[in-house]
Chain A
Amino acid sequence: MKFRPLVVSAAVVAAASLALTGCSGSAASSGSGSAPTTLTLGVLQNINSFDPAQAHLGHQMQIYQAAYDTLILREPDGTLSPMLATEWQYNDDNTVLTVDLRDDVTFTDGATFDAEAAKANLDHFTEANGPDANQGKSIKSVDVVDDDTIDITLTEPDPAMLYYLSQAAGFMGSPDVLGTDGVKTVPVGSGPYILDKKASVNGSQFTFTKNEDYWNPDLQKYDKVVFKVLTEVTSRVNAIVSGQVDATLLDPKTSKQADKKGLKKTSYPVDWQGLLLFDRDGAIAPELEDVRVRQAINYAFDRQTMLDEALLGEGEVTSQVFGKTTEAYIPELDDAYAYDPKKAKELLAEAGYADGFTLEIPMLPDTETFMAMAKQQLADVGITVKLTSATIADYVPNIIQGKYAVAWFSIFQGEPWVAIRQMISTDAAYNPFKTTDDEIAGYIDAVHFGGEKSGELAKDVNQYVTDNAWFAPWYRVNQLYYSDDSKVTVEPQVQQAVPNLYNYSPVS
């Protein structure tokens, strides 16, 4: 056995790895020297499946929008405009929605978009059990009227139906692939871009190229769109600061680094954060049944200090759960429960808890900072908080199963009816104890059957849940969206975690 060959090969490898490590390519920036017609976005979430019925609102919308068109297009300000649907009209009691469709659209596999295709998609959506299946909950049946018209019959009026048709429920895929295994990994839609599977790694990067036969070139501003899945905020800030992505979402702590770099900041409130006082009937925590106790909890928080400490002031304090951009918003309610520990103590005493009581609140990882503050402030008025640790995977399921009397959450402030069905109505995920009474049920019904007026009528719901302290909101959080404005112009999207894909355009 000779030792020599090993020495030689080791020397070669050594030289090679020296070449590797000693390589100081002058300003070798990869990915940033791309052509001006490539858009690279840092996204927070991977998607489960390219089946349009598995689409999920929020962070994942952009990826689906590349491949699929929706029936209705939601403008940046929330206005609904035609897309694959040209017109829509409700009947008198808002239970049948007649939708006129375009007749000049073809899917990338050659299938034609028509009334049959739209019906196939909506039927598939209601059966496919996707993350946003609740958007199709009120659809009773879909009927083909003629080649380019469908009737969507609802079990009952749904003030959010049109909005849903601009979201997950509205994505239209080729009827030939719906429900197949293939469409899970390769989308077949009529959208502005086509997935380049060879240049994509699921969970890491999705690359799309321009659909040459697209019916609406106005929406197609790039030759190529790349989504880099960056779940860690550290990776996102590194990627945008070093020019690897053109735009992405950051948080208050990381955003300072992007500010220093001179990147453009677009901030708009999407979520409210604070406590949800679920157990208003006192099933687990009997004390919460008394409205004065819930109000006391609200008065206990010095919201501005919490906002400054936890989010570096990136947001606005509020005591209401409806967003500023919705018709349900009542400006005065923002300081309905201004910081008043004295009043909190009085209310507790009136309710018979002069000596306070103990309350259990679950705590997620990375929320320790503000949960500790919340604990301290509640202790100041006499409520002893016991923080129990919770895991991300179990948190929401436990909430929904009614295991927590009170929990912290970050909830997106959608259209009034969407928000009501999210946390106020008896079938809402975030109303696990199904709290209700005749008064609130009446207000909810008014919104439900209010047609055009339903947004305005939701003010009553807002007033009621604020007065009765169903929640203890702290603040509306700013989404901090950053972009390199030397390369891309971004228009923010109201009530959405990230802008629609259509809101980006290259800087010429």
Chain B
Amino acid sequence: MLTFIIKRIVSGITVLVAISVATFFLLYYSGSNIARNILGEYATPDQVAAKEHELGLDRPIIVQFGEWASQAITGNLGVSWFTSQGVAESLLTRLPVTLTLLIVAIIAIAIFATLIGIAAAVKRGWIDRVVQVGAVVGEAIPSFVLGVIFVTIFAINLAWFPATSSIQPGAPGSAWVLSLTLPAIALALNGMTSTAQQIRSAVIAQLEKDYVRTLRSRGIPETVVLFKHVLRSAAPAGLTVLSLHFIGMLGGVVIIEQIFALPGMGALAVQSTVLGDTPLVMGVVIYTVIIVIIVNLLVDLANGWLNPKVRVS
């Protein structure tokens, strides 16, 4: 088990390094006018040159990357070029919002997808057909479209929720709940239908197995059969899809946060990328990759715990 975790961590670090290098170089070769954008259009060429020197942009990219990397290894992600704030500080104030949003959405997906998937597998008939159609429709509508529709209906017309985030430092819990409900549903609906579809297929496959017949013939109640035995065997398929959705949602959250003006990492990613704020973009990328690595590790562990066969491979 320990070797398995260590292996995973080593490969995770490899990925982290590769992505950091790639991002840094991409930013360097796409953002040639950072100093000009910081200073605005009325800055003279001399001013721009001075600013580039101040930021160290006039040095070779290898030197720049080396300096950034040597700092990053010690945990120092530097200071944003555009907000003068420490990168780690900026990210830490925003991480809770994004993580809460993602975790609420993923939990909602897990619970509802499981219930819907089992219902479709056991009852078949019309429920099953609705789930089948829903999976296609749900997959086709992007979460940001849902977000825009939700804002119009529930925030503007009905005024049940705030239209833009009211989360701020020291805001009461109610502000968090109200501000995150609509974006979380918008994020979750997209993944819910297809996860339900996966669970449905896996449960149907399990129900046809011999052990289910054996359990039933012993008089074990159907709910126990379903929730204890069948679901456990069907879970890995669902978990894998769930982890893929979680990673997919890291992309969706970027746009959702823009729509709801949430002070999260996604919104920061957009702002810093548009400006070419290298230290901040790198910080966002590193945090995101670490989150993905952790989620994947957790899913593998859960799968191993649910299904001993996986551990061997």
Give A contacts to B, CB under 8 Å.
1, 3, 7, 10, 13-14, 17, 20-21, 23-31, 46-51, 56, 129-134, 181, 184-185, 198-205, 207, 228, 230-232, 234-235, 238-239, 241-242, 244, 392-394, 396-397, 399-400, 422, 429-430
Contact = CB atoms under 8 A, between A and B. Distances in A.
Contacts of A131: 38-40, 42-43
Given A200-B168, A244-B164, A393-B33, 10 more contacts: A13-B107, A13-B111, A20-B104, A28-B159, A30-B174, A202-B93, A207-B168, A234-B148, A244-B163, A394-B33
B177 A392 contact: no
Contact of B151 (A133, A198, A238, A397): A238
B8 interface: no
Interface residues of B, number: 66
Given A129-B39, A242-B163, A203 B271 contact: yes
A238 B263 contact: no
Contact of A28 (B40, B178, B258): B178
Contacts of B267: 203-204
B31 A20 contact: no
Q: Which 9 A-B pairs have the closest CB atoms?
A: A184-B84, A204-B263, A238-B163, A131-B40, A30-B166, A242-B163, A397-B33, A49-B84, A235-B261
A48 B159 contact: no
A484 B247 CA distance: 41
A41 B179 CA distance: 19
B175 A30 contact: yes
Interface in B125-172: 148, 151, 155-156, 159-166, 168-170
Interface string B94-118: 1000000000100110110000000
Interface stretch (B44-52, B210-218, B287-295): B44-52
B84 A242 contact: no
Contacts of B275: 393
A235 B259 contact: yes
Contacts of A47: 83
Nearest to B82: A48
B148 to A, nearest CB: 8
Contacts of B47: 129, 133
A203 B94 CA distance: 10
17 contacts: A21-B108, A27-B160, A48-B38, A48-B84, A49-B83, A49-B84, A129-B47, A130-B39, A134-B43, A203-B268, A205-B263, A231-B271, A235-B258, A241-B163, A242-B155, A393-B276, A429-B42
Q: Which of B179, B181, B232 has the most CB of A within 10 A?
A: B181
Contact of A400 (B41, B175, B177, B263): B41
Given A21-B108, A25-B178, A239-B163, A200 B90 contact: no
B178 A1 contact: no
A205 B84 contact: no
Contact of A201 (B93, B110, B179, B232): B93
Interface of B: 31-33, 36-44, 47, 50-51, 54, 82-85, 90, 93-94, 104, 107-108, 110-111, 148, 151, 155-156, 159-166, 168-170, 174-175, 177-179, 181, 184-185, 227-228, 232, 258-261, 263, 267-268, 271, 274-276, 305
B261 A393 contact: no
A103 to B, nearest CB: 32
Contacts of A228: 164, 261
Nearest to B40: A131
A23 B110 CA distance: 20
B298 to A, nearest CB: 14
A29 B178 CA distance: 9
Contacts of A230: 164, 261
A189 to B, nearest CB: 16
B170 A199 contact: yes
Contacts of A133: 39, 42-43, 47
B266 to A, nearest CB: 12
A17 B107 CA distance: 8
Given A30-B178, A132-B42, A46 B160 contact: no
Contacts of B38: 48, 131
A30 to B, nearest CB: 4
Contacts of A26: 160
Contact of B159 (A29, A49, A198, A394): A29
A26 B161 CA distance: 9
A392 B274 contact: yes
A429 B31 CA distance: 21
Contact of B50 (A1, A129, A200, A235): A129
B50 A17 contact: no
A238 to B, nearest CB: 4
A21 B155 CA distance: 14
Contacts of B263: 201, 203-205
Contacts of B111: 10, 13-14, 17
Contacts of B107: 13, 17
Contacts of B93: 201-202
| B33, B42, B175, B232 — most chain A CB neighbours (10 Å) | B42
A495 to B, nearest CB: 16
Given A28-B178, A203-B271, A238 B156 contact: yes
Contacts of A238: 151, 155-156, 163-164
Nearest to A427: B44
Given A21-B108, A133-B47, A239 B156 contact: no
Contacts of B165: 204
B181 A20 contact: yes
A7 B231 CA distance: 11
B41 A239 contact: no
A267 B84 CA distance: 34
A109 to B, nearest CB: 19
A133 B51 CA distance: 12
A235 B163 CA distance: 8
B270 to A, nearest CB: 9
B90 to A, nearest CB: 6
